Amino acid sequence: MAYYEAIFFWLSLVIYAIAAGGYIYALVFRNEKVVPKLLILIGIGLLVHTGAVAARYIAQGHFPWSTDYENGLMGGWFIIASTLFVAWRQKSLRVFAVATVPTTMLIMGYGVMRNPTLAPMAATLKSFWLAIHVFFAWLSFGAYVLAMAAGVIYLLKERRGQAPAEPAPDRFADLSPERLDDLMFKYLVFGFITNAIMIAAGSIWAKDLWGAYWSWDPVETWSLISWLMYGVAIHLRVTMGWRGTRFSWLMIGALLTVIINFFGVSILMKSSVHVFKMS
């Protein structure tokens, strides 16, 4: 990790931690007035986070997209950027950060414990199709995390409404259950489509690199499992009418397959051709 990269990385992580704590406070004490200020803090964190990405790019001479650390670095960036984008479009969605920011902290923390060392890019990674593959991978990841966040907020609102000794639900009052349910489905569909493009672009890249579009590599297999999982979710929603609570839990559970694909396979499956050596 480069000197300035380390400064920016840890500073952004501290900012995200403060923001996450603030959101937990707002949630527990039902003080939503602090949320706009916390969103500004998250914006500052994203700027610092961008500085870490830029510092790594300058130090290595290539975009960070190959190792577990770089997956965590860029994955976290896309999650926070997605959170700020939807919050900018609709103020009521600012509360999504209560789920997205802690998720970002976890994957960044995992990444920095893995392999943050600087290294030149392997020749096998120098491909235009790989750039498309990675870009759409992070778009889908950001969408899936937003779907998970909508599910978390839905469950929190539902729990609040079912509390016997509590008045009518007033937590996140400007987000109706119907609205959250609709957002979960829209983020799911967006993530599913971008995920499909990711798999297609990766197959084209694999054909040039290994001579076959598909080889049932562990990463490829888990990518397919994750995509099919979200495809099943769409089917359950459209044909079986899954909504509300069980659909929220489905969005939370389905994200685990994505996390395993991005961060778990490299630990458990050392034989994967997707575990690249820098040279």
Structure tokens at 206: 């694999």
pLDDT at 66: 74
What's the chain's Rg over C-alpha atoms? 19
Which of 72, 38, 68 minimizes the C-alpha distance to 52?
72
pLDDT digits (tens, 9 = 90+) for 212-247: 888 877 778 888 999 999 999 999 999 999 999 999
The percent helix, strand, coil of the chain (3-state, each to 5) is: 80, 0, 20
pLDDT digits (tens, 9 = 90+) for 72-124: 899 999 999 999 999 999 888 989 999 999 999 999 998 898 878 887 776 66
At position 166, the amino acid (one-letter code) is E
At position 208, the amino acid (one-letter code) is D
The kind and range of the H/E element at 255 are helix 244-259
pLDDT digits (tens, 9 = 90+) for 20-29: 999 999 888 8
pLDDT digits (tens, 9 = 90+) for 131-165: 898 899 999 999 999 999 999 999 988 876 555 54
Which of 160, 167, 41, 174 minimizes the C-alpha distance to 95?
174
pTM greater than the 0.85 cutoff? yes
Contact (CB, 8 A) for 118 and 73: no
